Structure 1
Amino acid sequence: MSARTWLVRRLLGRLRIDDDTIRHLSTFQRLGEHLEIQAPGEMLPIGARTVFRALRTRAASQTGTDWVWPYWLRRQIDPSSPAFVPRGHLPFLSNVTSRNWTMIGNRGSAREAVVDPRGLVSPWHDAWSLDWWIGAEDRWHVPADEANVRQSLLGDSPVVETRMRVPGGDIVHRAYVIQATAADGGEELVIVEIENDSAVPVALALAIRPYNAEGLAVIERIGLHDTTVTVDGRVAMLLPKPPNAVAASTFHDGDCATQVFAGETQTSFPADLRDEAGMAQAAFVYPLPHRQTLRVALPLAPDPRTRLVGRARKRVRDAPRFPQALPSAEQVANGWKTHTDQGMRLVLPDERLQSAVDANRRYLLLFHDGTDVTPGPRTYNRFWFRDAAYLLAALDRYGFHTEAREVLASFPERQHTDGFFFSQRLEWDANGAAIWALAHHWDLTRDRELLDEVVTSVAGGVQWIDRKRRGKRRDDPALRGLLPAGISAEHLGPHDYFYWDDFWALAGLRDGARMLRAAGEDEAADRAAAFLESMTADVRASMALTADRLGTKAVPAGPRRRIDPGVIGSLAAVWPLQLLGADDEAMQATLDVVRDRFCIDEAFYQGISHTGLGTYLTLQVAFVELLAGDRRALDRLDWFLSAATPTWTWPEAIHPRVAGGCMGDGHHGWAAAELLSFVRTMLVHETRDGLALASMIPTSWYGQGVEVHDAPTRFGLLSFAIRWHGERPAILWELEPHDPDVAVVLTCPGLDPTWRSTEARGEALLDAPPDAPAPAAVPGPDQGDSFE
């Protein structure tokens, strides 16, 4: 027994925790492999926040039965709701049925606000939210309780519109983010506007609430200073004029909503509203005549908390006034359209898919946070190389090279002196992911300046991979030459040896060799190629031994695992890494296992960690099917679109029965990136010697036009359009090649598998697809049509 183990046992013993209980803890790690180094401390802040927030949420909600709680919480504690979750002996309560939200923000900013499905706006991370209640002719209407609430995007942009029906018409809530003018302080502001689109006047209560879409928040103090609202000494809301009435309360005095709904509001705000339980709340009431709009502004960047009265007063004095000039929601939506009128643009016959693509192109720019790219605005608002690889690839595929480059240029600063690209300890896929993302950017942009900046880091990263896999001798032949046990993507399971890590490492060695060769570092490129050859042999030998042990060629999550849902990770060898073809025997066996054992209808069910229908994991299956020419890929795309929120967002995993988010960030960047990459791969896909255009499209598109403009590819910038002559498609294309001396073979396997061309520009009338119905004749392209 180690000294540390002895000390822990002694400490727990003094707390009257007996040895049988300690055994639960001591054997927990043995469910996976023993870690060669200590567990990653980077995850402790996230874990601690989640646990303590869930503990507090459980405690408050079980006694605050008369409170107005957020949409997700009201459903989880209501025994008549299908989303009801019994708590039993567990002291925790967390959102596991409606982890759905939509981020709003400014391009290039590192901060985002989120809006829940009922219009609850949370401007700061893990903090208070702004709710809205409407006093109509019949009663007060609370969006979290009402059935007739609809949400959408304005112009497929990050402007969220939530409509609630009341007698006489709709009340419309909109939320978006602006950059205030210099005259108005220049701050980023969340604008919340409420429009009375009904035929009668209503009362509007804007409520500061001590919770958000993940759980309870802490509010100890609220103040009103003329038209400035403060929360814990920080400027929280700018009002256009003083409210007509106010209500405020603490947890022990009850919810201020009770005062509002009973008509017992006050005309003046309490001078010193404090709540030691951290559940202070307040409401500010205004009349809202019909066809009128009221706007408030919430600073997006909070000041540090302060208990110093003098500092809080100074902040109020220095706070910007309510902006004199505010852009409308329509103007902001139009601004986003202008922002994204660059890069790869698509014109699709499917309106649903078109909206999803347009919205997520804009969201992609919000996931980009300067030198960071993060897979979520809340739960996952931090940098990981794994998630970054998928997001950066989507940015580059859609032509947002400046944003991708800004993040990629920071990679050398994230690298340790030993060559490890660090974002989390035990993240052994990080080096492969970092090098793969750098190489992908090089392939699409030929950015020589960035190549020269990162080539030393690439060489160090390649060396690290080879040293790390050889660092400790292992007696088990199935482990020899593999990376150590670690903590990888959570959907793979507890700490273990993962083929996922090895596949990413192989891709890093392959792509590192290419980048080093392109940079003129031939000796380093030769070493990387030798490392690749050696590790490839070791991985193949391990897979063969594992196949013999299991009696199947399906590749489990790791060499010591059985076939479980973590098998999904092995498909990364096909997509996105393309180490193996979709027709590879082991990958086909793996795909068959996934479809036969771990899918519910078209969706992949991840029983490890996520315990829900995987969003980007379902697309992982679809990608392999797409590359194999299996049209079941389109069925999975259809499921994915059907599973979206009305604002075209996805959580990490979806509750199989109530269809709400049950895991991860409620607006998940990996899922958004994979949708965009999947559509791009349907329409434009690199092959060994060229480009496959329209490799798979739905038959419902036959007879309708498709356009792809300015698609970055490994061979150059491509544009093409599909038109129809009766049942025969015609294709027009234009390629601006990286290297004019290299012949690029263009094919169109989804429409006419026999067609090929090496011309950089042209048009062709293809044979009718074998499964095409005879559509009504439509005009074909005129001779000489071009993309200008």
Structure 2
Amino acid sequence: MWLKRFVWKYIVRRIAHSHGFLDPIALLGQLRKFAPSSEVSEPIELLRAGAVFHARGLVNRSAIQHNLDWVWPFWVERQFNPLSSSFLPRGFSITHVNLTHRNWTAVGIPDCHAFPIVDPRGLITPLWDSWSLDGWIIPEEGEALLPSRLTEMSQELVYESGSLVVKTISRRAHLTFLSEVFVELLDGQPVCHIQYQLETDRPAWFVIALRPYNPEGISFIHNAALENDRRGWTINREPVVQFRQPVEHHLLSTYQHGDVFRKLRDKEEVLSGHCDVGLVTAAAMYALTPDQTTEIGVDVPLKEDAEATSALATGGTLQAWPDALGSAARLEIPDRGFQHLYDTAVRTLILLSPDWTYPGPYTYKRFWYRDAAFLVNGLLCANLLDRAERVVNRFPERQNLMGYFHSQEGEWDTNGEALWTFYRLWELSGKFPQPDWLRVVEKGAEWIVRKRLSDDLDAWHAGLFPPGFSAEHLGNIDYYYWDNFWNVAGLQAAAALLNQLGGDGQGQKFEQEATTLMQAIERSLTRSQEVRDAEGFPASPYRRMDAGAVGSIVAGYPLELLPPDDPRLLGTVQFLLENCFVHGAFFQDMIHSGMNAYLSLQLAQILLRAGDPRFFELVRGVADLATPTGQWPEAIHPHTKGGCMGDGQHAWAAAEWIVMMRNLFVREEGNRLIVGAGIVSEWLEAEQPLHFGPTPTRFGKITLDIEPRSPTSVQVKWQAQWHRESAPPVDVVVPGYDPVYNAASSGEYTEVTLSRNSD
């Protein structure tokens, strides 16, 4: 084997040198020196996704910059415009990808894997990673209304008539059109409906434009044709678009002849065409009458993923939106912006959990245990228990024979996350753990025990987990504390579950293993202190304090492995606040290179636990970063405020917003419930009742009402269904009012009146 490798290395080096290239073997060897050696250099899943991403970027590079007279999607119109703040020079860029406006909003129905997305200017991509549909108004005289070139327009996501609807309004002079996009189930088939309302003061044409691209870039169209009845398009030899009104005039163009936009004055129709390059464009045109409202409709039947096991895919019963939302915890606060973001976040989590959970509808439409832990926690806090349980019950499907919960190679945090999520479901639901979890939990915990390194190593990482890629945004491969904190929590969760399930003493064993791993972490932190010049938890023992330290605060939230006032935990937050914040939000320097809503909210949770009022500044900052449709991309460009990395609709951020709103009203701290700690004075000064619930806690479900009774008093009421006969200790600590500790809770209903303090 060594000889074979030697020969291949020799051949590669000779070929590289003969063509004047650097020695790739030496270069790769040098790159590996930036990180400790690992059994998995980089997850194959990430390499595959990156290869696809940049392959499209290569196509974009060839297609876009030479054809800027085409009508391109909003991100291209901004990013390639030298007069725009979104402009990026392209001189040494091998690939051209969307780094400034990665924003989109999905529509759909519960329990279905099909998620049409709409970009910030109304471009509709009805099928996953497909071509798109755009709408233009072309007046006989004057400039055209092209939404992707508008600097301002209006867009919102609304819930009406039992559907999620993205509404986009585009205007230019006296030209206006409204598009409404939603999904409906018709005869068992999900259909994306697009409804246009057009107004003009002069003769004009409305164009439904078929575009060979989407928010990521080029998506090939080799063939397109208008069907014989003029009521549909066949695209790439499949009938996929249906027009509710017959097309009045039709044009088509290929790459060689340029964008169909340049041919819209042509009188002679072109009904079909083929393009070897894959850049067919087409225009379905309708005449508009001045001073009249014209309505035009388009339908696109949707498809489930081939591997989908949702209710729709398996012929089961789907929940309509009203039913799916029926049990959700209800939030009522005077801040309409926060209220809208909460309601939208709940719908996002329902939409993106048809059976598995997806962190996003497009770029991240795949499963990770890491994201699932946070998404399931959001579902639980929103009282969507059945949906959360359905997701968790599928966790064992991805556990291999060795006990590893596999969503991506080389991730050493996943077992801890999976086990913690099992425990969190049991803890909040109050249901007895399912017996078939026993072997799954045992195997998962045993894998953790086997995987960690020896305590006897003469190194700062003794007893920790091997180096890995971990949470991806923390930096190069390393011995991440993130992995280790998660696995402490996983072992604790396994111990608690097995103690309930009767695991033949395994519970006690894993309790001890959790203690041993925590001791290894503490020992590592002590030994590596000389590397750091600030108090806190670095990303790994071999790192100074940097933005990657944000991963280590997981010990405080959501895992609660450390008390709220742990000085190292608070020191980490203080370091990040002072060094890693831009425009009021956490800026992740590594990989993301953008502001992160979900990481900012995790920092806010640490401050909330510690009673630090600065938490609300972070919450407000995150709210200000939301898009008009109430979404957050994974990472946000500090200047354009558009997405710069990841999915344009990030479900993890939505989950964190739900948990944040819930914890403002009620959260657990050890064996106590803390009520009202995040209620801010501006809400009480509005003199409106506040409400949240029902939401499950580890003690049972609770519904809270907080109502100002006078300028100097506030009444806090709760109804509860406790898991046990006796109520837990409840501390009512609304800021600005005298706290009530160990509030008497004689049963299911309790009232407490607080008086304003004199501070």
Cross-structure match for 1:339:
324
Alpha-carbon distance between aligned partners in 2 of 1:368 and 1:265, rounded to the nearest angstrom = 48
Alpha-carbon distance between aligned partners in 1 of 2:38 and 2:475, rounded to the nearest angstrom = 14
Cross-structure match for 2:751:
763
- Equivalent position to 1:242, from 229, 243, 246: 246
Cross-structure match for 2:739:
753
Q: Which sits farther off after the overlay, 338-347 or 295-304?
A: 295-304
- Equivalent position to 2:549, from 563, 567, 572: 567
Matches of residues 460-499 of structure 1 in structure 2 within 5 Å? 460-470=443-453, 475-499=457-481
Residue 70 (1) aligns with residue 55 (2): no
| Aligned partner of residue 159 in structure 2, secondary structure | coil
| Aligned partner of residue 425 in structure 1, secondary structure | coil
Alpha-carbon distance between aligned partners in 1 of 2:469 and 2:596, rounded to the nearest angstrom = 19
Alpha-carbon distance between aligned partners in 2 of 1:618 and 1:594, rounded to the nearest angstrom = 10
Cross-structure match for 2:142:
138
| Aligned partner of residue 534 in structure 1, secondary structure | helix
CA deviation after TM superposition for structure 1 residue 481, in Å = 0.9
- With normalisation by structure 2, the TM-score equals 0.93
Alpha-carbon distance between aligned partners in 2 of 1:706 and 1:29, rounded to the nearest angstrom = 55
Cross-structure match for 2:596:
614
- Equivalent position to 1:526, from 503, 508, 511: 508
Residue pair 1:743, 1:758 contacting (<8 A) in 2 also: no
Residue 735 (1) aligns with residue 726 (2): no
Cross-structure match for 1:282:
282
CA deviation after TM superposition for structure 1 residue 551, in Å = 4.3
Cross-structure match for 2:235:
231
CA deviation after TM superposition for structure 1 residue 223, in Å = 1.9
Alpha-carbon distance between aligned partners in 1 of 2:73 and 2:463, rounded to the nearest angstrom = 51
- Equivalent position to 1:556, from 527, 535, 538: 538
CA deviation after TM superposition for structure 1 residue 614, in Å = 1.6
Alpha-carbon distance between aligned partners in 2 of 1:557 and 1:669, rounded to the nearest angstrom = 24
CA deviation after TM superposition for structure 1 residue 167, in Å = 3.9
Residue pair 1:692, 1:749 contacting (<8 A) in 2 also: no
- Check 1:167–1:714 CA distance in 2 against 1; reply closer, same or farther (3 A cut): same
Alpha-carbon distance between aligned partners in 2 of 1:8 and 1:133, rounded to the nearest angstrom = 56
CA deviation after TM superposition for structure 1 residue 546, in Å = 1.6
CA deviation after TM superposition for structure 1 residue 623, in Å = 1.2
Cross-structure match for 1:331:
none
Residue pair 2:531, 2:544 contacting (<8 A) in 1 also: no
Per-residue CA deviations over 1:525-580 (Å, capped at 9, x if unaligned) read 01111111111111110111122332443211111112221011111110111111
CA deviation after TM superposition for structure 1 residue 475, in Å = 4.0
Residue pair 1:755, 1:766 contacting (<8 A) in 2 also: no
Q: 1:762 corresponds to which letter in structure 2?
A: T
Q: How many residues align?
A: 732
CA deviation after TM superposition for structure 1 residue 9, in Å = 5.0
Matches of residues 321-400 of structure 1 in structure 2 within 5 Å? 336-337=321-322, 339-370=324-355, 372-400=356-384
RMSD across aligned C-alpha pairs, in angstroms?
A: 2.2
Residue pair 2:739, 2:754 contacting (<8 A) in 1 also: no
Q: 1:510 corresponds to which letter in structure 2?
A: Q
Residue pair 1:602, 1:635 contacting (<8 A) in 2 also: yes
Matches of residues 618-697 of structure 1 in structure 2 within 5 Å? 618-697=600-679
Matches of residues 42-191 of structure 1 in structure 2 within 5 Å? 42-136=45-139, 138-155=142-159, 158-168=164-174, 170-180=176-186, 182=187, 186-191=188-193
Percent of paired sites with the same residue: 33
Per-residue CA deviations over 1:100-143 (Å, capped at 9, x if unaligned) read 11011110111211100000011122220111111246332100
Alpha-carbon distance between aligned partners in 1 of 2:21 and 2:383, rounded to the nearest angstrom = 60
Cross-structure match for 1:327:
none
Cross-structure match for 1:7:
8
Q: 1:665 corresponds to which letter in structure 2?
A: D
- Check 1:12–1:113 CA distance in 2 against 1; reply closer, same or farther (3 A cut): farther
- Check 1:455–1:701 CA distance in 2 against 1; reply closer, same or farther (3 A cut): same
| Aligned partner of residue 492 in structure 1, secondary structure | coil
Per-residue CA deviations over 1:446-496 (Å, capped at 9, x if unaligned) read 232x532212111111111010004x6874431111111111112101111
Residue pair 1:715, 1:744 contacting (<8 A) in 2 also: no
Alpha-carbon distance between aligned partners in 1 of 2:417 and 2:111, rounded to the nearest angstrom = 23
CA deviation after TM superposition for structure 1 residue 755, in Å = 4.4
Cross-structure match for 1:220:
222
| Aligned partner of residue 160 in structure 1, secondary structure | strand
Q: 1:382 corresponds to which letter in structure 2?
A: R
| Aligned partner of residue 32 in structure 2, secondary structure | helix
- Check 1:507–1:66 CA distance in 2 against 1; reply closer, same or farther (3 A cut): same
Which segments of structure 1 move beyond 6 Å, counting only runs of 4 or more?
none
Per-residue CA deviations over 1:195-235 (Å, capped at 9, x if unaligned) read 12566674211111111011111111112223221221223
- Check 1:166–1:548 CA distance in 2 against 1; reply closer, same or farther (3 A cut): closer
Per-residue CA deviations over 1:408-459 (Å, capped at 9, x if unaligned) read 11111211111111111111000000011111111111232x5322121111
- With normalisation by structure 1, the TM-score equals 0.89
Alpha-carbon distance between aligned partners in 1 of 2:275 and 2:757, rounded to the nearest angstrom = 69
CA deviation after TM superposition for structure 1 residue 689, in Å = 2.5
| Aligned partner of residue 179 in structure 1, secondary structure | strand
Residue pair 2:245, 2:297 contacting (<8 A) in 1 also: no
Cross-structure match for 1:208:
210
Alpha-carbon distance between aligned partners in 2 of 1:412 and 1:237, rounded to the nearest angstrom = 39
CA deviation after TM superposition for structure 1 residue 746, in Å = 4.2
Alpha-carbon distance between aligned partners in 2 of 1:522 and 1:745, rounded to the nearest angstrom = 35
Residue pair 2:731, 2:739 contacting (<8 A) in 1 also: no
CA deviation after TM superposition for structure 1 residue 754, in Å = 3.2
Per-residue CA deviations over 1:357-402 (Å, capped at 9, x if unaligned) read 01111111111031x1010111111100000000011001111111
| Aligned partner of residue 110 in structure 1, secondary structure | coil
Residue pair 2:221, 2:235 contacting (<8 A) in 1 also: yes
- Equivalent position to 1:722, from 706, 720, 728: 706
Alpha-carbon distance between aligned partners in 2 of 1:148 and 1:745, rounded to the nearest angstrom = 49
Alpha-carbon distance between aligned partners in 2 of 1:392 and 1:482, rounded to the nearest angstrom = 27
Per-residue CA deviations over 1:644-688 (Å, capped at 9, x if unaligned) read 100000111111112111111000111111111111111110122
What are the ranges of 5 or more consecutive residues in structure 2 without an aligned counterpart?
307-318
Alpha-carbon distance between aligned partners in 2 of 1:627 and 1:24, rounded to the nearest angstrom = 47
- Equivalent position to 1:408, from 392, 396, 412: 392
Cross-structure match for 2:27:
24
CA deviation after TM superposition for structure 1 residue 12, in Å = 5.0
CA deviation after TM superposition for structure 1 residue 13, in Å = 3.2
Alpha-carbon distance between aligned partners in 1 of 2:692 and 2:552, rounded to the nearest angstrom = 32
Residue pair 1:409, 1:453 contacting (<8 A) in 2 also: no
Q: 1:373 corresponds to which letter in structure 2?
A: T
Q: 2:495 corresponds to which letter in structure 1?
A: A
Q: 1:763 corresponds to which letter in structure 2?
A: E
Alpha-carbon distance between aligned partners in 1 of 2:151 and 2:450, rounded to the nearest angstrom = 59
CA deviation after TM superposition for structure 1 residue 769, in Å = 4.9
Residue pair 2:457, 2:463 contacting (<8 A) in 1 also: no
Matches of residues 444-463 of structure 1 in structure 2 within 5 Å? 444-448=428-432, 451-463=434-446
- Check 1:201–1:712 CA distance in 2 against 1; reply closer, same or farther (3 A cut): farther
Q: 2:606 corresponds to which letter in structure 1?
A: V
